[in-house]
Amino acid sequence: MKPAHLVIGLIAFTLAPSALAAPTEAEVRSALEAATAHASTELSHRGGYLWWYAADGSEQAGEGAPVPETTVWVQPPGTPAVGMAYLRLYDVTGDEGYLRLATQAAEALAWGQMVSGGWYAFIDFGEPSHRHLHYLREYEAGDTDTGKRWSLSTLDDDITQSALRLLLEVDDRLKGGHPAIHHALVAGMTALLAAQYPAGAWPQVFDGPVEPRPVLDAAVPDDWRDLPRIKEYWLLYTLNDAALETSVRTLLLAHDLHGDEALQGAALRGGEFLLRAQLPDPHPVWAQQYDFEMRPAWARKFEMPAASSLESVGVMELLVDLWAETGDERYRDAAARALEWFPASQLEDGRWARFYELNTSRPIYFNREYEVTYDDSDLPTHYGFKFDLTDRLAAIEADLSLSLEELRAEGAAGGADSVSDAEVQAVLDALDDRGRWITMRTDHRGQPVDDPIPVIEMSVYVENLNLLAAYLEGLGQG
């Protein structure tokens, strides 16, 4: 009889070739077919999707509490994010079925476009529950009195912007041949342009063209505590939750697809705003939002006038891309100047505070009573007050170390995302026999839920579809 350690070694040797075998294209395609068939037939409502679905089918939700089956979500990772994943699969495989699924998602968005031309966080196909929202198709059919219905569109959390990007991409693949999708795209892009202030920024929400305001440079008061709280802060110049960043990127995509110089011009006005909005020393970064005098401004009770590390990293990433787009060294210089601020602002635990006090650049927080404090021991749990930005800052630093020609060459090279065989195999193994990736819903936005349940999370679904698409792209390039 062989010693136990030799038997174990032989078993390992026998299994090694199979365990290390790369997933095949057929296996990946089969998994994709199963996953998309389940989601499109069992989860989707009229082409749209929510954030998560209970595995037993008992409930479903977007952000927050469960909602009726007739509701779909626009805010990522809802309908636009799922539609873009389908579209990527179509581009990789050429399978018209994925284009149909992406088109259905775009049709859902077209149905639920707000009368103001953008989108709200969700769309409700139910009758009469959707009557608290006023949709553009209703207005165009003669229902022009909004009354007490909600008519606003939002740029918060990439909602209107992500919807427009899906419409742009689907309309491009269909060569403008789907009237409803093309009409919604034109109306939405027109609304986005009209919602841009002359200074180049956008509000958080809009209900039509914005009121013109003077174009000014950033200003910091001697004492930020003297700044007023503005009830309608959502009308101010907004960088929070990447509102400006995603708006500019949407316009750049539209320009790439259509070549309309007006679209590029609007995108570059957004870049000009960022140059003017960069705060003076000792914090040459950006605030979450600015009032019309270009001073950092209050928003919600836990969002103070301050230099913001998280929003500034997103701004810097956009500035690098605008430098590559235009060759304008001002974008590079602004990002480089901001980057120099971060090392001295890093906390002892390696993270960064979200907020830094104006004029002192000292980390500043709120406690659970929403009192301003320099003490981080009693932070509210519903909101991110600290972030690890190390990897993103390193990527920005690497880009800024390149010449313009090198940066453009790197962008042009593109290529498939790097995906390991092990990552793909783990995704394939996690797919159950019904075509579902099941996870446990244990928290909501960082807070524990009372009763964790097995769910299908669309963030996981989208991530897995994109990972498998990237793997197929790699096979195609190999």
pLDDT tens track for 240-252: 999 999 999 999 9
Considering the domain boundaries, does residue 202 fall inside one? Answer: no
Looking at the fold, whether 186 and 288 belong to one and the same domain comes out as: no
Least confident residue range of 55-69, 74-88, 97-111, 314-328: 55-69
Is residue 201 domain-resident? no
Last residue of a domain, one of 414, 439, 454: 414
Domain C-terminal end among 414, 432, 454: 414
Residue type, 292: F
User: Which are the contacts of 222, defined by CB distance < 8 A and separation ≥ 6?
Assistant: 359
Domain encompassing residue 239: 229-414
Q: What is the mean pLDDT of residues 373-397?
A: 96
Q: Which residues contact 317 (CB under 8 A, 6 or more apart)?
A: 245, 392, 395, 396
Task: Tell me what the mean pLDDT of segment 26-42 comes to.
Answer: 98
Task: State the Cα–Cα distance between residues 251 and 264, nearest whole angstrom.
Answer: 6
Task: Return the bridge partners of 386, or none.
Answer: 353
pLDDT tens digits along 334-382: 999 999 999 999 999 999 999 999 999 999 999 999 999 999 999 998 8
Note whether 167 and 110 are within 8 A (CB). yes
If residue 381 lies in a helix (H) or strand (E), which one and from where to where? none
In this structure, the answer to whether residues 281 and 309 fall within a common structural domain is yes
SS3 of 189, please?
Answer: helix
> CATH number for the domain including 388?
1.50.10.20
DSSP 53: E
Q: Please report the pLDDT score of residue 20 as a whole number.
A: 63
Do 296 and 286 touch, CB atoms closer than 8 A?
no
Shared domain check, 458 and 380: no
Q: Would you say residue 389 lies in a domain?
A: yes
Instruction: Evaluate whether residue 2 is within a structural domain.
Output: no
Residues 409 and 424 in one domain: no
pLDDT at 19 exceeding the cut of 90: no
Question: What is the phi-psi region of residue 346: left when phi exceeds 0, alpha when psi lies from -120 to 50, beta otherwise?
Answer: beta
pLDDT of residue 7: 38
Domain assignment present for residue 434? The answer is: yes
pLDDT at 16: 46
Do 260 and 378 belong together in one domain?
yes
pLDDT of residue 2: 38
Residues 39 and 61 in one domain: yes
Residues 316 and 455 in one domain: no
Split into its structural domains, the chain has a count of: 2
Please state, in angstroms and rounded to a whole number, the distance separating the CA atoms of residues 31 and 438. Answer: 14
Residues 397 and 450 in one domain: no
Is the four-CA dihedral 101, 107, 112, 115 of positive or negative sign?
A: positive
Pinpoint the alpha helices (H) of 209-259. Answer: 243-258
For residue 445, being part of any structural domain is answered with: yes
Together in a domain, 261 and 288: yes
Same domain, 262 and 367: yes
Which pLDDT belongs to residue 242? 97
Over range 184-212, report the average pLDDT: 98
Domain end, chosen from 360, 386, 414, is at 414
Q: Which residues contact 476 (CB under 8 A, 6 or more apart)?
A: 92, 416
- What lies within 8 Å, CB to CB, of 358 at 6+ separation is 220, 221, 224, 279, 283, 296, 305, 306, 307
Give percent above pLDDT 90 in the chain.
Answer: 89
Q: Which helix (H) or strand (E) holds 357?
A: none
Domain assignment present for 263: yes
| 295 assigned to some structural domain | yes
Question: Are 237 and 231 a contacting pair, CB within 8 Å?
Answer: no
Q: Which residues pair with 114 in a beta bridge?
A: 135
Query: How many other CB atoms are there within 10 angstroms of residue 414's CB atom?
Result: 7
Together in a domain, 244 and 374? yes
183 and 296 together in one domain: no
Segment 85-110 mean pLDDT: 98
pLDDT value of residue 451? 85
Residues 6+ apart with CB under 8 A from 371: none
Q: Which of 76, 48, 71 is nearest to 60 (CA)?
A: 71
pLDDT in tens, 440-456: 988 776 677 888 999 99
Rounded to two decimals, what is the model's pTM? 0.93
